[in-house]
Structure 1
Amino acid sequence: MSLPEALVASLTALLGTRFSQTNADRDHHAQSESFHRAPPPDAVAWPKTTEEVSQIMAACSAAGVPVIAWGAGTSLEGHALAYSGGVTLDLTQMDKVVQIRPEDMQVTVQPGVTREALNTELRATGLFFPVDPGANASLGGMAATRASGTTAVRYGTMRDNVLALQVVLADGRIIRTGSRAVKSSAGYDLTALFLGSEGTLGIITELTLKLFGQPEEVASAVCAFVTLDDAVECVSATIQSGIPMARIEFVDAATACAFNQREGTTLPESPHLMIEFHGSPNGVREDAGRFGEIAAEFGAKDFDWATTAEDRARLWRMRHGAYHACLALRPGASGVVTDVCVPMSELPAAVHAAADDIAAEGLIGPIVGHVGDGNFHSLMLVDPGNPDEIAAAKRVAKKMAERALAVGGTITGEHGIGVGKRDLMAAQHGDAWAVMGAIKQALDPQNILNPGKMVPDRN
């Protein structure tokens, strides 16, 4: 679609050079971290304040033009692509840390602040924000996708760590949800409603987040196992034992191989667990010792303890770089990325079955996971010009989702829905999916907020 001249004139007057229709800016916002592709938006806007977002939304609402929020562009299911055209609202210039309240262990930020930038800002306070999805994602995008990551097993997900939001609705109204109080029973939990809504209900322009004290002692380790089953069953046994881990990550043999090629490491090419403990010096030593005993029962070997901050940073930088390391296993390939989350008791069988499905389709599909909470991922490497390979990868992803639902799990633990998993929503939610559509209709009657995502098509 082409934008109405009156809308272009209005947004140019409001934003000046922060409103663009150049091909370079539009094409940049048509990219995805995974295989999902879409035409570029008709224009890109870079607001700096909530009031500017409100004026943009009011103008686009009056013109009936779609608006798609954009954070760091790190999502994996096509969340921020403009399938219906319109204006991409790039929030990266809304990057202010508004207020740090150390005494309340809280911070208020604009949505374009990234998690790494926030933790850099917090260093002098002795506090940190723990949610760590790996990518240096924006906090607004993390809230919109209800992100989690490597530390969720101890600190929870974005759902657990967002106290309040400021949101601009489809018609330009500005609302606040939640409060700085740690609990409330005052009406509907609108904060939870917008968390995970993927930009389909409103534009998040401010977040109030919980903070945590930096741990007194941190210990990290990586260890190898003979088989995939040994590694994943060790996770289940560790969780059941009650050991309070900050992180416990699984990588399979293919991922270990990718690390060696990219990082120059010498990991055994077998499944591995990466573990981290936070707490007092005595507590960390006790927890690490107990884990070591359990791991030994499952044949763990080649323990490598990261005892310095630099070694720990190197270990987790390697884990966070798994996506690009695995892509390098097949140069020129695109990634069909999927994740599911299952009850811990079902995790070993689910991971094993996924590996079997990938092998049966003849695909290269490394598996990694935040397995401390039953969440695991596969990156299936496909030739972007080969529809048969893409179809095979999608079959595997669908089987993984169906298997997760069959045991009481979910079709995605953290990647979200976007367009990639929209056709699985009815299977997970049944009639509740239509209820989501009704909420969308109530808040966005023109369907201009990130259309084509999350909810059913309108009749």
Structure 2
Amino acid sequence: MNAPVGNQNLRREIPAGFLDALKSRFGERFSTAQSVCEHHGRDESPYPAMLPHGVVFVQTTEEVAWVARHCNDHKVPLIPYGAGSSLEGHILAVQGGISLDLSGMNQVLAVHPEDFTVTVQAGVTRKQLNEEIRDTGLFFPIDPGADASLGGMAATRASGTNAVRYGTMRENVMSLKVVTADGRVIETANRARKSSAGYDLTRVFVGSEGTLGIITEVTVRLYPQPEAVSAAICNFPTLDAAVQSVIEIIQMGVPIARVEFMDTAAVKAINAYSKLDLKESPLLLFEFHGSPSGVKEQAEVVQEITRGNGGMDFEWADRPEDRSRLWTARHNAYFAGLQLRPGCRASTTDVCVPISRLAECVSETAAELDLASFPYTIVGHVGDGNFHVLMLLDPDDPAQWEESEQLNRRLVERAIRMEGTCTGEHGVGLHKMEFMLAEHGRDALDLMAALKRAFDPHDILNPGKIIPPA
């Protein structure tokens, strides 16, 4: 069972001598080996593998520019590759071409603690960054769960568990170094905290998923490590009660750092996978940051709200090792879910709605999923209205794939009807393209397509993604 790809799977012809030129330039850092191409031709999406013709392992911006010029001259697709953790088919070589592996560009280039900024190469991962800046007393808060690369996180406008307090990559990327389709190298901004000088090119490239340019360096904001951190779990009798509590907490203006939701199936999966003994009912996982008195005050307000919705007493995790265990378990919810149905293939989806419509959207979605022929879990960064559905499908049953797609379609239509979006953080890739027209309208899509043509006239940069065929 694999997701269909329609007419997107049209491999381009590679000109004679093209691959030889790459081999001559990069030697062992260019590979056409089947195993290497297979590794770079699949991600965590349910799509079948779509292999590039070859993979280049680059180490500098200058090398990226050379590859881009070479591909542009010969109209060969070029797909940036970071950690390979995408969920919507972002890195698949739907038209063949070259996979550009940036994982070797993994240097922290400049830390400016007095300005609360750091500049890194695109292949630096979030865990690596926080480890290297630990002694500064600062940290980078964007945490999508997977140990993704900063370049990939910028390209997909990633967010994660801390977004409710610290924002997403959109708010935290200050500047980028980008290689254009024809091999030019540009800086989108300087390190000043604000600017009124010209178009905001940084925001154009953040979220462009490798279709407008190749990010090679990222400058991001840092934050002081909080003086006090505390985490707590609160169980609820119903899904509605848990989600309603989140809505009231946000509307009260409580500066909570993280608030994550898990339905009963997700809690059961995490207990089994991570060897925990959480009460198996809908729950919220909170984290509070601030001064000791501030954390205490936040927790008291949140406890009062949750009790008003039938929430049970908090179970606290104050020690760093206990918090780490809880959050690691939450981040492993995807892999834990897979264990609910051994041998299954997962289809994941996410939407984001205004916080006032969250309870309604989650409840209607769960009611539909309860009637499905396969198991599912729901988890979410519900503090910002974003939740995820994991559908566990029989890989030998095409009917289940079609059923899951129909459920996904109705979920997205529901979110858009509630003035939300088809994806809060997964990105568009292949899987969400069909919903772009409903969300944005034809005129906006035409403008996006015109931007794509202006930046990439030969359509070599990650072709077949984001913008559906007219």
Q: Shorter chain as normaliser: what TM range?
A: over 0.9
Aligned to 1:452: 464
2:241 matches 1:235: no
Amino acid in structure 1 at the alignment position of 2:160: G
Aligned to 1:394: 405
Deviation at 1:185, TM superposition (A): 0.6
Aligned to 1:113: 124
Q: Secondary structure at the match of 2:466?
A: coil
Deviation at 1:269, TM superposition (A): 1.6
Do 1:226 and 1:300's aligned partners in 2 also have CA atoms closer than 8 Å?
yes
Deviation at 1:302, TM superposition (A): 5.1
Do 2:38 and 2:49's aligned partners in 1 also have CA atoms closer than 8 Å?
no
Question: Counterparts of 1:128-167 in structure 2 under 5 Å?
Answer: 128-167=139-178
Aligned to 1:258: 269
Q: Take 1:15 and 1:225, find their aligned partners in 2: how far apart are those partners? A: 57
Q: Take 2:126 and 2:391, find their aligned partners in 1: how far apart are those partners? A: 27
Question: Counterparts of 1:186-201 in structure 2 under 5 Å?
Answer: 186-201=197-212
Aligned to 2:346: 335
Question: Counterparts of 1:40-439 in structure 2 under 5 Å?
Answer: 40-301=51-312, 303-430=314-441, 431-439=443-451
Q: Take 2:101 and 2:293, find their aligned partners in 1: how far apart are those partners? A: 46
Q: Take 1:437 and 1:387, find their aligned partners in 2: how far apart are those partners? A: 33
Deviation at 1:385, TM superposition (A): 2.4
| TM-score, normalization by structure 2 | 0.96
Q: Take 2:189 and 2:444, find their aligned partners in 1: how far apart are those partners? A: 24
Q: Percent identity over the alignment? A: 53
Amino acid in structure 2 at the alignment position of 1:132: D
Q: Secondary structure at the match of 1:244?
A: coil
Deviation at 1:383, TM superposition (A): 1.4
Q: Take 1:275 and 1:456, find their aligned partners in 2: how far apart are those partners? A: 38
**CA offsets per residue over residues 137-174 of structure 1, 9 Å max, x none?**
00000000000000000000000000000100111111
Unaligned runs of 5+ in 2: 1-11
**CA offsets per residue over residues 159-201 of structure 1, 9 Å max, x none?**
0000000100111111110110000111111100000000000
2:27 matches 1:16: yes
Q: Secondary structure at the match of 1:200?
A: coil
Stretches of 4+ moved more than 6 A in 1? none
**CA offsets per residue over residues 96-153 of structure 1, 9 Å max, x none?**
1011011111000000000000000010000000000000000000000000000000
Q: Take 2:365 and 2:374, find their aligned partners in 1: how far apart are those partners? A: 12
Q: Secondary structure at the match of 1:104?
A: coil
Q: Secondary structure at the match of 1:14?
A: helix
Range with bigger deviation, 180-189 or 295-304: 295-304
Q: Take 2:306 and 2:32, find their aligned partners in 1: how far apart are those partners? A: 56
Q: Secondary structure at the match of 2:215?
A: strand
Q: Take 1:38 and 1:264, find their aligned partners in 2: how far apart are those partners? A: 33
Deviation at 1:16, TM superposition (A): 1.1
Q: How many residues align structurally? A: 458
Q: Take 2:22 and 2:67, find their aligned partners in 1: how far apart are those partners? A: 7
Deviation at 1:407, TM superposition (A): 1.1
2:453 matches 1:441: yes
Range with bigger deviation, 1-10 or 427-436: 1-10
Q: Secondary structure at the match of 1:366?
A: strand
Deviation at 1:12, TM superposition (A): 1.5
Deviation at 1:6, TM superposition (A): 2.5
Q: Take 1:384 and 1:222, find their aligned partners in 2: how far apart are those partners? A: 35
**CA offsets per residue over residues 324-347 of structure 1, 9 Å max, x none?**
000110011111100000001100
Q: Take 1:156 and 1:178, find their aligned partners in 2: how far apart are those partners? A: 20
Q: Take 1:343 and 1:88, find their aligned partners in 2: how far apart are those partners? A: 37
Aligned to 1:38: 49
Q: Secondary structure at the match of 1:409?
A: coil
Do 1:37 and 1:78's aligned partners in 2 also have CA atoms closer than 8 Å?
no
Do 1:434 and 1:455's aligned partners in 2 also have CA atoms closer than 8 Å?
no
Q: Take 1:52 and 1:175, find their aligned partners in 2: how far apart are those partners? A: 14
Deviation at 1:361, TM superposition (A): 2.3
Deviation at 1:298, TM superposition (A): 1.1
Amino acid in structure 2 at the alignment position of 1:159: R
Q: Take 2:166 and 2:25, find their aligned partners in 1: how far apart are those partners? A: 41
The root-mean-square deviation of aligned C-alpha atoms, in Å, is 1.0
Q: Take 1:15 and 1:110, find their aligned partners in 2: how far apart are those partners? A: 20
Q: 1:43 to 1:212 in 2, by over 3 A?
A: same
Deviation at 1:232, TM superposition (A): 0.3
Range with bigger deviation, 9-18 or 277-286: 9-18
Amino acid in structure 1 at the alignment position of 2:181: A
Unaligned runs of 5+ in 1: none
Deviation at 1:37, TM superposition (A): 2.0
Aligned to 2:3: none
Deviation at 1:2, TM superposition (A): 5.4
Do 1:419 and 1:454's aligned partners in 2 also have CA atoms closer than 8 Å?
yes
Deviation at 1:303, TM superposition (A): 2.3
Q: Secondary structure at the match of 2:428?
A: coil
Do 2:373 and 2:400's aligned partners in 1 also have CA atoms closer than 8 Å?
no
| TM-score, normalization by structure 1 | 0.98
Q: Take 1:343 and 1:2, find their aligned partners in 2: how far apart are those partners? A: 45
Q: Take 2:445 and 2:375, find their aligned partners in 1: how far apart are those partners? A: 33
Deviation at 1:457, TM superposition (A): 2.5
Q: Secondary structure at the match of 1:143?
A: helix
Deviation at 1:317, TM superposition (A): 0.4
Range with bigger deviation, 314-323 or 382-391: 382-391
Q: Take 2:376 and 2:247, find their aligned partners in 1: how far apart are those partners? A: 23
